[in-house]
Each structure stands twice: as C-alpha cells, then as structure tokens.
Structure 1
Amino acid sequence: MPETDTLAPPADSRVLAAAAGRPGTIGAGNAGQSLPANLEAEAAFLGAVLIDNKVIEELSTPIRPEHFFEPVHQRVYERVLRLLDRNSVATPVTLKPYFEQDEALQSLGGVTYLAKLTADGQGLLASRELAEQIYDLALLRELVSVGRGLVEGALDTSEEVAPMDKIAQAEADLFRVAEGATGNAQATDFRSATLAALKMAEAAMNSGGGLSGKTTGLEVIDQKTAGLHSSDLIILAGRPGMGKTSLATNIAFNCAAEHMKWQREGGAYNFGAPVAFFSLEMSADQLATRILAEQAEITSESLRSGKITRDEFQKLSAASQKLADLPLYIDDTPALTIAALRTRARRLKRRHDIGMIVVDYLQLLQGSGRANDNRVNEISEISRGLKTLAKELNLPVIALSQLSRAVEQREDKRPMLSDLRESGSIEQDADMVWFIFRADYYHEASRPDMPGPETSAEAMEKYRIWEERYLELRNRATLIVAKQRHGSTGNVPLHFHAEITKFTSPNKKDYSDWGEE
C-alpha cells in the first residue's frame, strides 16, 4: 500500500492519532489488535472530493460510504453522494447544515473540520491512489471479519458438527469479499431501488422489443417475459422427449452469442451474458455436438455416425471456428450436490463473470444429506438453494425438471403445476414455471398401421385422418408459461426442428391457433 502522509490535509489531531502507524497494515502500533485503516488517506480523499466533485466520476475503483473506517467520514461521503444525486454541489458550505448537530463531528472540532479537509488540496494529485487504498483496506477489514467468523464457527461444536457447511459458508463470504461487497448485506433505500427499476424500464424501452433482461434468442419468449431477469429462478419442465434440454441449450447458446456480438459491435445495452451450463445428464462433448449440429444445420445422428458429405463437414468446420470463443462454460460433473454446484458457480462468476446459469436437471442434483432419506425435503432444499444462488450471484437460473407420470394417465396431456415431480416447493420457489409441450409427440404414438394392398377402406381412412392431423401438428411446440411472478401466464408458440433439435420463433401468420391443439 502506498504511504499517503505527504498528501494528508491538516486533519484533526484525534484523527491523525488514530491513523498513526497503520497506513494499511494490521496491528501496527497496537500489539496486533488494530484493524487495517488509514484515516489520513480518507481525510485527504474527502478533501479532494469537496474541492472537485468530478473526482468521484473519474474513479476506477467504486467507493461507497461503508468503505471508510471512520464513521464521520462515512456520513460525510454518504451526504456528498446524495447531494450529487440531486445535481447539487458538495462543498463544506453546502454540507454544513447537515452536520451542525452531529455529536461525533463535534469531537473533531465541529463543522470547521469540513473546512480543514479542503485546506490542503494535495489529495487532488493522487485521488485515484487514495481511493484504491481506502478500498483495499476495506477489503482487508472484511477479510479479518470473515476469518474471525470462520475461526469462531469452527470452534463452536455446541449444536452440530458440519465442516462442509462451514466451508461452503466461508467460500460464500470470500466470494462476497472478492466481488467487493464489504460489510454485511444492508437494506436498499427506496431511491436506489427506484433507480434500478427506471434503468430496467429504460433498457426495455430502448431495446425496441420490450426486452429488459437477458435474451432467450427467441422473440416470442422474450415478448412474453421481457427476457430473463437477474435473481429469477426459471423452472423448465416437461416429460421425456419434449425437448427440454434442446430448448435450454438453444437459450444458453443464444444468450452467450448475443454477449459475444455485443463485445464485437458494442452498444448501449448488453442483453446477452456468459453462460454456465451444468449438465448432470449429458457430457460436455454431447452438448457441444448438439450446438454444432444446430448451427451447421446437420443432424446430430449424422455427426455421431460420420455420415456427412464434404460440404457438410466444411459447414461444420466453419461453425466450429465461429463458435471457438463462445462464452459458454459446460460443467458435466455427475452427481453434484447443491452445495458443490453453488461453489462451482461462484468460481465461474469470479473467473468469467457469468450472467446466466442452466442446470440440466434438478432431480439429478443431491441435497446435503440431512433430509433423512426424504426425497420431498431434499428437492425442497435443492430448489431453495437454486433460488438463493440466483439472488446471491444476481443472475437468472434456469433449472430443468422432470414431470410426474400423471400426465400420461390423462386424456389431456398438457402439463399442469401439480405435475411438477416430487415437491410443491419447486412451484413455490420459482419465479417462472415453463412447460414444453409437443402434441405431435403424443400423436405419433397413436399412429395406425401403415396401409397395404389388402388394407380395408375403413383402415385407410383412419390412417388418412391420422396423417392429415400429424402434418398439422408436425414441428409445432408450445411453451406453456404456467407461472410468472412479474407478468401474465399463457401459451407461447414455437417451431421445433426435430432433426437438428432447434427451437425457433414461427411466423406470426402461422400460429393464429397455435397452442390450442
């Protein structure tokens, strides 16, 4: 840490005494007990800000009030930020009315201390360095807090000895420190909440398509949901063969590709993001094969068997080169616990700044083992863990889920919320619940025998009626939005290219009665 004594203003003697001997080292001058802080650096930085408010705009390190060690400095900086939010000027004179009755400031000399902060303007010469030191020392103090909590937790065996839980909690705490979230989570004031809401509305307005979250790459879904929003848990459910993994893969690819496009071309808003795909059912190379098949428009079966032409191989090679830098990270570790998944997700967030997570699929995750062989409780723990992860990392989580066999036993095969397998908590924890439904899948199962030379007229008519209906239903899919916490429910029409396992948005003229089959 750089020394800042030569840059410090003539601050009050109590502040200087408190800061002496500890410009960024733990314990100097107090037998190893003092927390890392440099009050002179804080005073010098505040003086620079009060002389020139634009100093804050030029900072590469975001400084918040809680990064200051001295409580008075915290309150002064917080008031400065509020004045700037109102397009006012922050100076010792404009700050004076707010601190005339501040008892803590009286011990520093009263409101004259505000003027002393600006008496020496040398802080302007190194405002960025001062800000970085304040920020770094705040992180060190938070590390001390995390370490103290880890030691106390490890020593406390009064209730339950659960070392893996304590390790997971310690890693979560360290992740917050690495993200710069010093101090404990605090309530958000209404001003900050409304500004975030306005920013989201502005993004939706300027997108031209009502998109305010991460794109799915499918216009009809984006129109229904306005995109996938941070901290949301989206459950994508369906019976086997409906195309859950295909749709999730399409969305993951589209979101990552949109981010790559934004990096290349720029723009006011980035509706894409790097994506983490946790595949507990398929291997990484199988998923990659699917994506390559979709983009090169070659069937996965042809790729696996090698039955492709030279032209198709060239298309495949071109698609592979194009997608080499795609920010899509696949973790195919089997039998993950929810705790291990959260640990890996935090690591990907820290290394690659992921903005979306896909889990395929929820029932293949394992709980902590404390559910006493109760699968319903275990699934409840997993769904709560996924929702917590979405909020902790501030990104959307799409979790695929199996449906119960009750669907197959009904004449109407359309899924309902009650069909979610093994736990009602999945519906409760989810912000959105989607069901993927393909009527042609069930219609195919009722195919009559192919007519032959000796087939009766009645049997031929039966087959003709079946085939006519099949041609109507072929390649049609419906995404049923059964729950949406922030919007309406309803059906979303999709076009499914079964050969290359790819979903697309159909033409509007083609789906006036789509989803009613």
Structure 2
Amino acid sequence: MTSIDQLADRQTPFRGPPAPERAFRLAPHNLEAEQALLGAILVNNDAFDRVSDFLKPEHFSEEAHRRIYDTASQLIRMGKIASPITLKTFLGEQELAGTPIAHYLVRLAAEATTVINAEDFGRTIHDLAVRRDLILIGEDIVNSAYDAPVGASPRDQIEEAERKLYSVAEQGRYEGGFQRFSDALATAVDMAARAFERDGQLSGIATGLVDLDRQMGGLQSSDLIIVAGRPGMGKTALATNIAFNVAKAYEFRARPDGAHETVNGGVVGFFSLEMSAEQLATRVIAEQSAVASYKIRRGDMTESEFHRIVDAARIMQQIPLYIDQTGGLSIAQLTARARRLKRQRGLDLLVVDYLQLLGGSKSRSDSRVQEVTEITTGLKALAKELNVPVMALSQLSRQVESRDDKRPQLSDLRESGSIEQDADVVMFVFREEYYLNNRQPREGTEEFLTWQTDMERVHGKAEVIIGKQRHGPTGTVELAFEAEMTRFGNLAREDALPERHL
C-alpha cells in the first residue's frame, strides 16, 4: 500500500511561471521640491507662513530636510530669524551627501525660488508624503492578511484598514482656515431657505413629535444629542420612535450627478448594542400597528390585529432604516461602519443604543472615565465629520433613586464630565407614572385615594426634560406614552382641542 509520503515524493513539484523581473521602485518623493521650499524659507521666513498650517517635518522624505524644517519652524515661531547662519548652530557638524551641513544650507539659500511658489512646493511635498503613507498601509494590509493568526477575523482587519485610511485622509486635508463672513452668511441663509421648504419649517430634521420639534427646531446637523434616563423610562422607545418617524418621512431629489439629496426626513442608521435587530423590529411593529409587543411575541392576537401588523411591516420594508446589532463595538469600529453606511446608502441621522456599551481603543489601559471621554469625543467628531445629528442613549447613575423628586439632572449622568461637555443637547426621559405604579399603597386607605388621584394625573404621560441645548432654550416637553406599545406621541393640548359646545 502506497503511503501518502511516497505519493508526495513521486509528485513533480508545481512551479508557476517565472516571475517577471521588477525594476526596483523608490517611494514617491521630490528632493528638488523639498530643497526649493527650504531655500525659500531660509531666504524669506514669510514663506513658512504659507505652509505652516498643513506641512509638518515628517512630510519630508529626507531626514536632514526634516531636521532643517523642524529647526527653522521652531526658530520662526519663537520670533527669531531662520537663516543658514542661525540654523548651523542647532544642526551640528553632520554631512549630507558628502557636503557639510553648513555648506548645504548656504547652497539651499543660493538656489532658492521665490516665496510665491512656496505653497505649491509645500502641497507637492505633502501629497507625496500621503502617497508614501498609502503604500505603507497597503503593505500592512498584505502582511496582516498573510500572517493573520487563526482567531483573527477578516472583518477586523478591514475595519482597521479603514481606520488607517481615514486617518491618512484626515491628515491629508489642507483646506480650512479663515473664511469671509459673507460666505458663512450665505450658508446660514441657505439653511433658513431649506427650513422654510421642510415639513414643519424646521432648521433640523423633524422628529415627528411636534412639541419637541418646537423646543429644539428639529435635530440639527453635526449635533451630539444625548438621551438619558433610568431603566424603564423609555429611552430606547423614544429613540426608535424618532428613528422610524425620520425614516418614514424620507423624501429625496436627484442631483445632476445622479446622487440623492435629502429633501425631507432622512436615512437612519441605528446601532443597537443591547437589543437584537429582531427585538427592535418587534418594538417598532408594536408601535406602528398599535398591537402590544407581548401579544406579538406570544402570537396571541386577533385577525384584525394580525392584519395591522402585516400592513405595518409592509410600510416598514420601504423605509431607509438600517440596523447594526453587533455587540461590543469599539468607537473606532462604529465610526468605520457609520462612514461606510454614509458612503454606500447615505445617512441623515445616527442612533447609538447605548453609549456605555461602546468600548474605547484597545491599546488604551485608562480608567472608564477616560474611556467614556474618548467615546463621547469620537461621537461628536463623527457628527461633525458626517454632518449628521448623532443621538446617543445613556444610562443615569442610581443617585436619582435616592431623591424624593426623581426628575434627572445633568449631574446624574454617568461619567458626566465628558458627556455633558461634548453633548450639544442633553435630554432626560422621565415618567412619574413608572415610580407611582411601583409604590401602590393598600386599597381602602387614605393614601390609596391620594395615589389614585396622582395616577390619573400622570397616566399616559411622559416628560422629556431638555437639560442642555447649545442653540435653544432648556425646559420640559410633555409627550403621550402608551406603555403596552412603548410608543411616544404628541400630547393633545387644551389650546389645540376643538371648541366644546355645552
């Protein structure tokens, strides 16, 4: 019987076609542009001001050029003159390509171009540095894929590559700086015009809750909105209600380039770190069909209720609401996925349920407070980058329960320093009915009658307390709340009721 080893010995080893000879390739660089810029700076230090906001020493390909630029920048920022004579003192007696550094500096200054070209040379150096970074990232991707350990997930590698690419993209931006006030004014007028065209005439995205929209002007782009509350208050219910309302109202128009521009409502991304997508879908179906969620789970429903569920599901299939149910995400992973959704499907509102379930960067070994600071800072940066409102849910500390008045305050936020500081809006969800229901006295007593009166006063009502708002007033908004359907709605106000005839 022939063994496997004997068979292997008889096999002719497979040899692929000979690899074509490759010419040795240097990473992209331009020594002449580096020399021209450094010479211009040494002749006229004003050239430094034209490149200092985007060009750093590490962007130079030659180590000696990095040292020259770094030393010159330090001298100029200290108010001193950077010239071949002053730089010689700090660069020592090293040689560059067989030329003493002092002679090299003099030659740079002698062959310098005009200050006018300094910015163009600076951009050339910067762009080539970005290309070198891209080559390194590409090499890392290849090497990581070859040498990946058994337990490594390709998805993790993709997200890490996206993070690195985004980091290069952010460092590669050199636009910005001062702009004319008239340009900012035109942007503000355009925003007002869009608000005039929208439903409800709001500057932000309408939540579908009229009184809340009136208080906030809708959900504003680039805002970090914190929705906080104790367990059982309905944070997730409020977030899903708003997310569904926004997605259901979505309307768009096609731009000349074929892309879709949102006119009303919006595309919603929902990170459900606590609940599964199925649980979240059941909640939304219960809200929209007015069938209690426990009936949906048990299948205990009438035929008419089942038809309402089917109709609600049919409507929900058409709306642009995307759910990510991955647990244990880090802020870097969440950011990468949000960018991908924006790129592939569009994005107008991002919801995170909830903030304390996110993780910080794996390389850090800091305290939880520092980790939450990293998370809230990352969420605020993401809101600005994608130019969408980010709504993040947050738990409250237990100190609320020890007070007679259970209404939350900003100081009740867990790790409140960073959350309160980074948030543009902080909203607390409070339902007095929840607390009253848990302390029902014995029937027939005087306390029971008082409790019954209080229950009638707060039944079916919820409060959204706006504890912080950068561009609007704080205060309390009353909403209707249907506990069985976990649904928030507009509360009928006395002044909005039809006239009564006695």
Same fold (TM over 0.5): yes
Match of residue 238 from structure 1: 229
Q: Say if 2:132 is the partner of 1:148.
A: yes
Q: 1:488 aligns with which of 473, 496, 501?
A: 473
Structure whose CA Rg is larger:
2
Distance in 2, matches of 1:261 and 1:315, equals: 28
The TM-score, its normalising length taken from structure 2, stands at 0.66
Superposed counterparts of 1:42-441, under 5 Å: 146-151=130-135, 167-172=161-166, 183-187=173-177, 189-190=179-180, 191-207=182-198, 209-260=200-251, 270-441=263-434
Matched to 2:492, the amino acid is N
Matched to 2:164, the amino acid is A
1:253 Cα deviation from its structure 2 partner: 0.5
Match of residue 464 from structure 1: 449
Q: How many residues align?
A: 361
Matched to 1:250, the amino acid is N
Matched to 1:248, the amino acid is A
Distance in 2, matches of 1:188 and 1:293, equals: 51
Distance in 1, matches of 2:472 and 2:338, equals: 28
In structure 1, the gaps of 5 or more residues are 1-29, 36-101, 105-137, 157-162, 452-458, 513-517
Matched to 2:238, the amino acid is L
1:370 Cα deviation from its structure 2 partner: 4.3
Distance in 2, matches of 1:253 and 1:188, equals: 39
Q: Specify whether residues 183 and 366 from structure 1 end up closer, same or farther in structure 2 by C-alpha distance, changes over 3 A only.
A: closer
Q: Specify whether residues 272 and 103 from structure 1 end up closer, same or farther in structure 2 by C-alpha distance, changes over 3 A only.
A: same
> What is the CA RMSD across the aligned residues, in angstroms?
3.4
Greater shift after overlay, 503-512 or 212-221?
Answer: 503-512
Q: Deviations for 1:339-388, whole angstroms, at most 9, x for unmatched residues?
A: 00001111111111111100000000001134425111111111101001
Contact 2:28 2:128 in 1 (8 A): no
Matched to 1:339, the amino acid is A
Q: Specify whether residues 34 and 372 from structure 1 end up closer, same or farther in structure 2 by C-alpha distance, changes over 3 A only.
A: closer
1:204 Cα deviation from its structure 2 partner: 2.9
Distance in 1, matches of 2:392 and 2:285, equals: 23
Matched to 2:217, the amino acid is A
Matched to 1:225, the amino acid is M
Q: Deviations for 1:123-152, whole angstroms, at most 9, x for unmatched residues?
A: xxxxxxxxxxxxxxx9xx999764422446
Distance in 1, matches of 2:253 and 2:237, equals: 24
Match of residue 477 from structure 1: 462
SS of 1:499 mapped into structure 2: coil
SS of 1:220 mapped into structure 2: helix
The TM-score, its normalising length taken from structure 1, stands at 0.64
SS of 1:467 mapped into structure 2: helix
Distance in 1, matches of 2:288 and 2:399, equals: 36
Contact 1:150 1:170 in 2 (8 A): no
Match of residue 100 from structure 2: none
Match of residue 503 from structure 1: 488
SS of 2:407 mapped into structure 1: coil
% identical aligned pairs: 46
In structure 2, the gaps of 5 or more residues are 1-24, 31-114, 118-122, 141-156, 255-259, 498-502
Matched to 2:278, the amino acid is D
Q: Specify whether residues 352 and 166 from structure 1 end up closer, same or farther in structure 2 by C-alpha distance, changes over 3 A only.
A: closer
Matched to 1:172, the amino acid is Y
Distance in 1, matches of 2:373 and 2:203, equals: 30
Q: Specify whether residues 261 and 231 from structure 1 end up closer, same or farther in structure 2 by C-alpha distance, changes over 3 A only.
A: closer
1:294 Cα deviation from its structure 2 partner: 1.0
Q: Specify whether residues 351 and 146 from structure 1 end up closer, same or farther in structure 2 by C-alpha distance, changes over 3 A only.
A: farther
Q: Deviations for 1:177-205, whole angstroms, at most 9, x for unmatched residues?
A: 9xxxx843423623332221111122334
Contact 1:171 1:343 in 2 (8 A): no
Contact 1:204 1:226 in 2 (8 A): no
Distance in 1, matches of 2:353 and 2:480, equals: 22
Matched to 1:170, the amino acid is K
Matched to 1:189, the amino acid is Q
Q: Deviations for 1:370-420, whole angstroms, at most 9, x for unmatched residues?
A: 442511111111110100110111100000000000100111111000000
Distance in 2, matches of 1:402 and 1:259, equals: 30
Matched to 1:442, the amino acid is Y
Q: Specify whether residues 169 and 192 from structure 1 end up closer, same or farther in structure 2 by C-alpha distance, changes over 3 A only.
A: farther
Contact 1:211 1:227 in 2 (8 A): yes
Distance in 2, matches of 1:184 and 1:258, equals: 37
Match of residue 515 from structure 1: none
Contact 2:247 2:266 in 1 (8 A): yes
1:327 Cα deviation from its structure 2 partner: 0.3
